[in-house]
Structure 1
Amino acid sequence: MATITLQPICRTSPTPPPMVVQSISELDTSKSQFPITGQFASSPVAIPNKRLASPLSPLPVGQTPPVTPPQSPPSQEVQCTMSSRLYPPDNYPLIQNSPPLRAIDAAGVAATINHIATQPLPNADDVFPWAHGAHPENHLQIEFFNARKKAVKKVPTCVRFVTVVKVGGDLGSCKLKGAVVPEDVLQIEGQPRFVNLDPQNGFCVRNFHIQVGKFATLSDIIVYGGTGTGFEEVREVAERISAAQIHFRQDSELKLPVYNTFVVTDPFSAFEELFPELVSIDSKGKLTGHVVEFSSDHWERSEMCTMSRASEIFRNVFLGSTADAGLDPSHRFSQDTHWDIMIEASDLAQIPSPGSLRAISEALEHTNETQMLEFPSSGSVFPAQYETDGILEICRWIHSLASEDGYGVIQTDAEGDTKMSSSSTGRKILIHCTDGYTETSLLALAFVMYAQGLPVYDAWVHLHSEKKRNFFAYAGDLSLLRTIQQRLLRASPNGRAMISLSAQSPEPQWLSKMDGSLPSRILPYMYLGNLNHANNPALLRALGIKRVLSVGEFVSWTSEELNEWGKSRVLSVDNVQDNGIDSLAHVFNNCLDFIDEGRCKGEPTLVHCRVGVSRSATICIAEVMRSLNLSVPRAYCYVRARRLNVIIQPHCRFMYELLKWEEIQSHKENISVKREMEWTTVAREVAAMNRPYSSR
């Protein structure tokens, strides 16, 4: 069991690396769709610039996984067995006896799906490590778990899920909540068998893509047809599924429960008319919005654009995403905002020439139309003389247009701040890119240095802390800005720049330890970061972070740094490896209490593990669930968007534990449990979200 200590242990030897690995025509609804007689019982919903922070491929054969601490003692909770409206199946008449198929109507499907969402999930110890997958030929995976007395081959008998299978076309239309296609669960050719997607080699505990297939073997299965799909086609698939259930039970070494296959007797139009809350994609191929589909580009883009929504970083100069520019029709936030100039940061752009800047200035005198301009994206500019001149010129140009309509004299007050009269209007300028924080960071930081007269390290903190902008800058950007810093400050119209130049104070120590990334601000009082961030206490102090929660790792601070920080502001959770075995659920409350204590005291907390994608991300998801009252999939997307260029990757067990914790919290608050999304759907969506990045 993980333990919590109040003082970090300073170590000189490196901690073993985490195992962050991963491999996603109208019918009459009053009549039955199928020719079955008898009375049927009606049983009463790719993002650019993201990168995976760790390898996607499993550990190769022969490579030993990291050493794990002793296993936690077994859970004291009793094993739970899920109930289902489909078992016993006596209320659903047989269509045929061999293999057995039973009939169910649309109302019965709706009642079944709603009921299963209220059932307590089995404890994580009851389904893991089996759910991680163990192909008979994958000796590394099997031996790793068996060495820790974890029966990886033991099939959990407490599970009774419901799997909904659509026949007839892909899931681009006529999709019910959580529906999958036959090939997700069934071998299409040969003997009727369930698919075995367990990895045949390597070690991996992020096999989200296999969860639908694995848990289909422990499910009652409902088969329905899309619009225009005939009965015989649906029956054929249902027969193979029913036969696969029989073979799986016969081949198992355990005495497994009996699972059944059901055929929907109503057409899909019945769901659209009577149970629209279950329709994810309608018969015309349109998302209904009734069902959570967080793997869709729309969901992730929406959360990302909300996080990076345009805000003012200097008078009339805004930083935002392409959605704020109104160029993305599916995510348009600023329809009522007229931008005089929109500067898009792009990988294909060149630094604008002085002639092109003059042409835009002249055009603004004769038209009210928005003027478009491009600038090279962050990480693509190198410190040559031409580039330095171009960066300085565009900063001067933006400042002039934004300050006084491009005319007039810019004045500064006694402290060096730019003085603006109430009559000054200026040109409204938006600096934007697709995600709102990556490609624009170089130009934004350079402009803040010039306009505010700040050295690079102060501009960094100013943009993040004062202007509350989340951004990601590459190490090359930091090097470039340090190279051109003197020129930007000498040319700055802000009197503060002369103070910065004359002071000649050394750069802060934390700057040399930076790789360009900052801890990710998830909530105003909670940051998510990695071990490097945690081992840079001066950086944390500069950002206003005053507490550190270390999950499974130890900070390497000196005793002086620890005493200066305050031992009570550092909490370490020990003996939690990212190995698919160790649990986090039993330390959720302690960690969240520590974070909440910081919130009450106005002391923001950095939550970190080694990479900042799994253990610490899981804790942050739990806090977002608690504080914002969000479900697991919504909180996952919230944190994922705010982790900026790094994709969070809690492994399968951690994600499952979050679903179970959500259920437990609802019980404590006397709230009826109803999951917004089932475990297999959550896993499928996570796999689909990560798929575009896995090939990079």
Structure 2
Amino acid sequence: KYYNTFVLDDAIMSRLDSYKLLSIPLLNPESSIKCPGDLCSEYDLEVFNNWDSNYLYREKLEISKMSSATPVIRNVWFGNTTDFECLHIQSNLNSNSNIKDENGSEIKEKYERSEIPLHCDPRNTIVALTKKDLSKKPIRELDSKLITFPKSNWKFFVHCVDGARFPSFVELKNIFMSLSSLDQIYLEFPPSGAVGLGDLSEEDILSIVNVCKLLYYRCTSDFTGLLYCSDGYTETSLLGICFLMYSKNIKLDDALIKLHMDYGRPFFIFKSDYFLLEKLEPILNRFSPLNYEEDDDEDEDDNEASSNDSWKNLTFEDNTFLIKSALLSPKSDSKRRSSVGVSRNSVITTATGQHVVQLRGQQIQTPQLGVSVTGDTRSESSFGSSSSTSTSSDSEDEIDIGGPCESVAGSLPSRILPHLYLGSLAHASSVPLLKELGINYLVSVGERIPWVDDLNYSIESTESGCDILKFSQRSGKGSKCYVNEVMRISNINDDGIGTLTTTINDALEFIGKCYNEGGKVLVHCQVGVSRSATVCIAEVMKRLSISLPRAYLFVRVRRLNVIIQPNLKLMYELFKWEENFVKSKIKKRQSSVSSVNSITASNSSTLFSNNSERSSFSASISSVNSNFTTSSLRENSISGVSFKPRLSVVNFEKSIVEEEDVFIQMDIGSDQHDMIASNCPGFIREVDWFILCREIFNLNRAYINP
């Protein structure tokens, strides 16, 4: 295969730009200047439109979009630094207290929570934006496409940041004494992962209780609060979960599930945080205001529960003896932990060795607290069993596993799309967790789920050799299995040798079945960073109709602190799968419009489709124009279709227009007629392989300390 190479002796930049052949057009020096109130400049938009570079910039934009502020409880919102900064930019522009939204309208404090959580809503993303979406419009309108404008005029800010200390009793008391005269309150608080139980004094624990109490009573509909950090989900998780346990008087696992399911917030806690929160749980429940007032069970009213003067009855806790007695109280009987888990140092130790998970902003460390796998270590070759039915012993579908979050130390699988989760073997091994999250389908990529062989199931095999296990729904003495089906993809290891080429389409078809039936599917491998991430990227490409680099970024951001790292072979297989994916769309669209627009037998651009399962397109140009010269006139062949390099300006223009029209109007196979999100709709791919590898390397390097 060869590329068409053109040498321009008289370049006309406007013509090249109109044919989408310029990465970044020529800009005047003033293009980098921002007008007052604008968040982006013309130069910023052009840099964003060039998907050949600066993926770190795109990742930051996508993170801020994904984790933008949403209300949680008692007029307290969880958000990110961008929310805080955007509010203050607008505050400086408006001398009055009326803050405007992206449409220039005054912010209304009432927030309508969507059924789809904002962080996994496919409409809440920047990866689907193209040059067409970001051109010929006012900068302020374009700002709102890249950045979510604040939805509330917050006045109580708690910034969870490295280096912060716990507010002292005296500092909190001084704030309380001045509440009636304060227009805004700003506090700093230690972040998640920065403290352990051994680092805390009784005064520090009292500080946690008092900060929760201050938020609970002072935040009203006229004085809303924002709990925020840089990414919107890591540093705030410790205080945010403490506040939820305090406000609702609930247990730790219930708070984690509620934050994820009911309030739709992304969060990430370390194993050390989970152990700390377990010790803080009885203390926060003991001081909960619901012990002294009526509980309103309606979550919809959580943000309207505080009256504007309830804070006047606030008194701070200062009795350290209560803290000591709670810490010394006997620990309740712990549930049996699962045999698979994630350590604080991001290392999993299993029967097959150690697996390192790289977290954002953390250096790879040697294992110290690894959790080993016990029990059945049978070979994966048993996946390919030809028997149609597996019989359990005396289990009667009962599964003896602990609480929903204990076995994974509070680390939930990542919700990529409303129907799609990405996680680890530990997540798939916890039946109570699957039940709480409503996950009823599993795709197991090269791993064995421990509880599967304890249940009765029937087996169906796909043409590619994948097994689909269908379970009976019967209650036993233990936990009931709520999983309907499991797809097992066997003989695929994360060793740079295993391949998904023959099985990925079957996996996507299985996920599509789950989607059509309104279910939720968890795709997992050992740790959820390589093999299962590959499948999820392909599903996002197919579901959102976007190119590979855009889908990669979409999944990467929603995996939160766990950095996805498909090995080089799997990534290249995705790269080639993208070609076939785009070609199949062209072929499908071509067949649907052939009855309306016939292709003439001229020297202009022509679409070819062969009789194989793959479709391709090429152009045949016969005339030569002096404005272009080529280094070689040899004929090229793509997918069996011969053609000569494009050399004619006239026919080149005509061919591009025709191919672009095919791309823009093609059917993606759903009820909507969407085009592939790409800045190069006339090309098979948006970004070349070597550029994609370079940008992913630069992305990962930013999180690894030398």
TM-score by length of 1: 0.55
- In the alignment, is residue 396 of structure 1 matched against residue 242 of structure 2? no
Matching of residues 346-385 of structure 1 within 5 Å: 346-368=161-183, 370-383=184-197, 384=200, 385=202
Per the alignment, residue 83 of structure 2 pairs with 324
Amino acid paired to 1:580: G
**One of 658, 665, 678 as aligned partner of 2:688:** 678
**Of the candidates 499, 503, 518, which is equivalent to residue 587 of structure 1?**
503
CA contact (8 A) 1:319 1:431 kept: yes
Shift of 1:494: 2.2
Distance 1:604 1:359, change over 3 A: same
Aligned partners of 2:416 and 2:555 also within 8 Å = yes
**Which residue of structure 2 lines up, in the alignment, with residue 600 of structure 1?**
516
- The Cα offsets for residues 270-310 of structure 1, whole Å up to 9 and x where unpaired, read as x559xx9xxxxx99999543312564432111111111111
Evaluate the alpha carbon distance shift between residue 557 and residue 110 of structure 1 in structure 2; reply closer, same or farther with a 3 A threshold.
farther
CA shift, 1:570, in A, is 0.5
1:625, 1:285 → 2: CA distance? 26
**Aligned partner of 1:462 among 258, 274, 286:** 258
1:103-118 matches, cutoff 5 A = 104-106=9-11
Superposition deviation, residue 677 in structure 1: 1.3
Structure 1 stretch 468-477 or stretch 553-562: which is displaced more? 553-562
The percentage of counterpart residues that share the same residue type is: 35
Query: Hey, what does 1:147 align to over in structure 2?
Result: none
d(CA) in 2 for partners of 1:567, 1:445 = 28
Match among 578, 584, 598 for residue 662 of structure 1: 578
Partner secondary structure for residue 572 of structure 1: strand
| 4+ runs deviating over 4 angstroms | 107-115, 282-287, 327-332, 495-501, 504-508, 561-564
Q: How is 1:112-261 mapped onto 2 (pairs within 5 angstroms)? A: 177=23
Q: Structure 1 residues 467, 566: CA separation in 2 closer, same or farther (over 3 Å shift)?
A: closer
1:357 positional shift: 2.3
Q: Which residue matches 2:701?
A: 691
- The counterpart of 1:475, out of the listed 271, 288, 294, is 271
Aligned-pair CA distance for 1:541: 1.5
Cα distance change on mapping 1:284 and 1:428 into 2, 3 Å: closer
CA shift digits 1:43-72 (9 cap, x unpaired): xxxxxxxxxxxxxxxxxxxxxxxxxxxxxx
Residues 353/505 of structure 1: CA separation in 2 closer, same or farther (3 Å cut): same
Q: Secondary structure at the match of 2:573?
A: helix
State the 1:471 CA deviation: 0.7
CA contact (8 A) 1:294 1:300 kept: no
Q: How does 1:423-572 map to 2 (within 5 A)?
A: 425=221, 427-494=223-290, 508-557=402-451, 559-560=453-454, 563=471, 564-565=480-481, 569-572=485-488
Call closer, same or farther: CA 1:299–1:283 in 2, change over 3 Å.
closer
Alpha-carbon distance in structure 2 between the residues aligned to 1:389 and 1:284 = 49
Question: Match of 2:388?
Answer: none
* Residue aligned with 2:49, SS: coil
In 2: Cα distance, 1:542 partner to 1:469 partner: 16
Structure 2 SS opposite 1:565 = coil
- DSSP-derived class of the 1:647 partner: coil
Equivalent-residue separation in structure 2 for 1:654 and 1:114 (angstroms): 32
Matched, 1:299 2:113: no
Structure 2 counterpart of 1:634, from 543, 550, 553: 550
- Please state how far the C-alpha of 1:348 moved relative to its aligned partner: 0.7
The 2-side partners of 1:390 and 1:285 are apart by 42
User: Hey, what's the Cα distance between the residues in 2 that align with 1:630 and 1:430?
Assistant: 33
Q: How many residues align?
A: 421
Deviation readout 1:106-129 (Å, 9 max, x if unpaired):
3599879979x9xxxxxxxxxxxx
Residues 314 and 585 (structure 1), Cα distance of their counterparts in 2 relative to 1, 3 Å cut: same
Amino acid at match of 2:432: A
In structure 1, what is the Cα distance between the partners aligned to 2:239 and 2:535? 34
* Maintained 8 Å contact 1:433/1:440: yes
- 1:505: Cα distance to partner? 9.4
Q: Separation in 2 of the partners of 1:586 and 1:630? A: 22
Match of 1:386 among 199, 203, 211: 203
- Cα-to-partner distance string for 1:21-42 (whole Å, 9 max, x where unaligned): xxxxxxxxxxxxxxxxxxxxxx
Matched with 1:652 is 568
CA drift of 1:608 comes to: 0.8
**1:497 to 1:664, Cα distance in 2 relative to 1, 3 A:** farther
Q: Distance in 1 between matches of 2:45 and 2:266?
A: 33
Aligned counterparts of 1:539 and 1:634: Cα–Cα separation in 2? 30
Q: Which residue of 2 aligns with 1:191?
A: none
Amino acid at match of 2:577: W
CA contact (8 A) 1:490 1:498 kept: no
| Cα distance, 1:631–1:285 mapped onto 2, change above 3 Å | closer
Residues 456 and 668 from structure 1, CA distance in 2 versus in 1: closer, same or farther, beyond 3 angstroms?
same
Q: Which residue of 2 aligns with 1:345?
A: 160
CA contact (8 A) 1:326 1:335 kept: no
Go from structure 1 to structure 2 and tell me whether the alpha carbon gap of 1:283 and 1:306 turns closer, same or farther (over 3 Å shift): closer
8 Å Cα contact 1:489-1:497 kept in structure 2: no
- The alignment partner of 2:72 has SS state of strand
Post-superposition shift, 1:363?
4.1
The separation in 2 between residues aligned to 1:603 and 1:285, in whole angstroms, is 40
Give the partner amino acid of 2:159.
E
Q: Relative to 1, partners in 2 of residues 1:606 and 1:485: Cα closer, same or farther, differing over 3 Å?
A: same
1:169-198 per-position Cα deviation (integer Å, ceiling 9, x unaligned): xxxxxxx639xxxxxxxxxxxxxxxxxxxx
User: How far apart, in 1, do the equivalents of 2:525 and 2:15 lie?
Assistant: 42
Structure 1 counterpart of 2:611: none
Determine helix, strand or coil for the equivalent of 1:84: coil
Which residue of structure 2 lines up, in the alignment, with residue 126 of structure 1?
none
Asked which structure has the greater RCO (Cα within 8 Å, sep 6+), the reply is: 1
Give the aligned residue type for 1:522: I
Cα deviation 1:386-443 (Å, max 9, x = unaligned): 22211111111110112xx5xxxxxxxxxxxxxxxxxxx3520000000100010010
SS of corresponding position for 1:571: strand
What is the CA–CA distance in structure 2 between the aligned matches of 1:336 and 1:355, rounded to whole Å?
A: 33
- Alpha-carbon distance between aligned partners in 1 of 2:64 and 2:500, rounded to the nearest angstrom: 31
The one-letter amino acid of 1:379's match is G
2:69 to 310, 316, 324: 310
Pair 684,452 (structure 1): closer, same or farther in 2 beyond 3 Å: same
| Matching residue of 1:290 | 49
- SS class of match (1:494): helix
Structure 1 SS opposite 2:408: coil
1:323 and 1:290 map into 2 onto residues whose CA distance is: 21
**Is the 1:84–1:112 contact (alpha carbons within 8 Å) kept by the matching residues of 2?**
no
SS in structure 2 opposite 1:326?
helix
TM-score with structure 2 length normalisation?
A: 0.54
Gaps of 5+ in 1: 1-80, 87-91, 93-102, 118-175, 179-268, 277-281, 406-424
* Alignment root-mean-square deviation, CA: 3.6
Q: Is the 8 A contact 2:420 2:521 kept in 1?
A: yes
Does the 8 A contact of 1:549 with 1:605 survive in 2? yes
Q: Distance in 1 between matches of 2:208 and 2:250?
A: 16
SS of residue paired to 1:653: helix
